[in-house]
Amino acid sequence: MKISTGSEYMQSLRELNPVIYYQGERIHDVVRHPATAAHVRAAAMTYSLANDPKYKDLATATSHMTGRAIGRFTHVHQNADDLIKKAKLLRVLGQKTGTCFQRCVGFDGINAVYSVTYDMDQAKGTDYHERLKKWLTYIQDENLMVVGAMTDPKGDRSKGPAQQADPDQYLRVVERRPEGIVIRGAKLHMTGAVNSHEILLMPTTALGEDASDYAVICALPVDSPGVTMVFGRQANDSRRDQCQCLDVGKPSFGTVGGEALIAFEDVLVPWDRVFMDGETEFAGEVVYRFAAHHRANYGACKTGLMDVLIGAVSYLTLVQGTAKGSHVRDKVTEMVHLCETLYSSSLACACEGWPTASGAYMVDTMLANVCKQNVTRFHFEVARLALDLAGGFIATLPGEKDLASPEVGRLVEKYLGGVQGFPAKDRIKLGRLIEAMTGGTALVESMHGAGSPQAQRIMIFRECGLGDKVALAKKLARIPMRKDLGKK
């Protein structure tokens, strides 16, 4: 692996020259810029854990293509054990960073595209899978970070890609040249985009035959000509930009993942980096497999975050002298129960995994959708209980400059301390940490990341085998089949 440490990862980013804007100004160094530096440090943890003997087995793998040691985030799952190790690794990373470490989308994209390109080659006689393996070997050997780019702007959502007034509302191929394809469009909400090395582009929905130009999968470096990123704002980012560490809550790591809009303005992609071009019948399968992998993640990474939140609020109740209350213990117990229920769901997805024709393993898709559906509820409930136990002071805390003020600092210190001998500054740190982990940006990502709640409910209904369940009931009740009743 060329990049083997967190510091080497950071140095590799300085060697790139992507076009990134934030609040109207160009960012030239994502490693140092206040808006992006914390997110870079979170992603760097994925490299650092690979060098920790305690976590090396989780953070690394052996490439099935080369037999060489690689980073887990560039691996193609070969068995259920790989899926289980992935879940365990994501929880550890959530515990270490308290935020999104940004490599899951690319990881899941690699695995979805790997199996689907194999199926395409078998059905169509193409060579997409061999192209992908060549590119992936490069990614593995260099240990590069890949941003998976799936979500299109979508424009008028009552219309499909080919019916849009502005055809660029879905990423598309606008020209095919001897040297490659030319793409135009955008991808939104791209986690980790500004601090990745490569972009893996995928369709965002199933496509009809009239949308063949939108059926494209390809990969390109983040600093390719014609690629422009606009980094998004997050809750309390003005505190971060002003470098007020105490007010940020998590000064070392970002609030969520650091998302960006990525625009592609007539970008040339060489043919050896094109893994789908017009095969509309396979677009939906890429989305389906990617979504399942990504939704399974949330029961692991979010429980790592919940571990931190439970620890923070439990310690705060000690500081505030309320820890012995039976209602406090009951609420903490409920937080733990919800957390471990989610983790169980993520592990279940892995244990019930199955091999695709390519050999790559898929998670159980029904359980993956159930897992993510629970995240949209349980994470919010854990956050609600944390805010309940913390108290209202986290919404009205004075700022870091007030604590340092010669005029009023003594008042903040006197009246915002906890039990005798506990400094106000440390109580404020706990409050700000809880605030950061229960704020708008963090919970919005839990709700809408990997698809909004209704997307999971649609898949749960589709895959629940309702007809089989009806048959079970009829058999036990000795009810004969009636031809006049419609099938459910």
Containing 127, the helix (H) or strand (E) segment is: none
- Cross-strand pairs, 19: 228
Distance CA 211, CA 205 (A): 11
DSSP three-state, residue 86: helix
Asked about 371 being catalytic, the answer comes back as no
Which of 46, 255, 259, 438 is catalytic? The answer is 259
Which of 74, 99, 191, 438 is catalytic? The answer is 191
Place of tokens 């976590």: 55
Cβ-contact 115, 360 below 8 angstroms = yes
Distance CA 365, CA 289 (A): 8
Which of 100, 339, 349, 371 is catalytic? The answer is 100
Asked about 351 being catalytic, the answer comes back as no
Strands 227-231 and 259-270: antiparallel
The DSSP 8-state label assigned to residue 408 in this structure reads: T
Q: According to the annotation, is 191 in a ligand binding site?
A: yes
Distance CA 136, CA 105 (A): 15
Structure tokens at 467: 């007809």
Distance CA 1, CA 13 (A): 16
Asked about 349 being catalytic, the answer comes back as no
Which of 55, 118, 298, 361 is catalytic? The answer is 298
Asked about 293 being catalytic, the answer comes back as no
Distance CA 449, CA 299 (A): 12
Structure tokens at 11: 């140095």
Cβ-contact 105, 147 below 8 angstroms = yes
Asked about 259 being catalytic, the answer comes back as yes
CA nearest neighbour of 90 among 365, 345, 356: 345
CA nearest neighbour of 431 among 415, 414, 416: 416
Distance CA 308, CA 317 (A): 14
Going along 8-133, which residue ranges are E strands? 19-22, 25-27, 60-62, 69-71
DSSP three-state, residue 459: helix
Distance CA 252, CA 225 (A): 32
Distance CA 29, CA 459 (A): 41
The CB density around residue 326, as the number of other CB atoms within 10 Å, is 7
Place of tokens 């919800």: 338
Phi and psi at residue 270, in whole multiples of 5°? Answer: -60, 150
Phi and psi at residue 268, in whole multiples of 5°? Answer: -85, 125
Which of 198, 400, 435, 445 is catalytic? The answer is 445
Classify residue 54 as exposed, middle or buried by CB count within 10 Å of its CB (0-12, 13-18, 19+).
exposed
Q: Which residues are catalytic?
A: 100, 104, 191, 259, 294, 298, 301, 445
Known binding positions for FAD: 191
**Which residues are known binding-site members?**
191
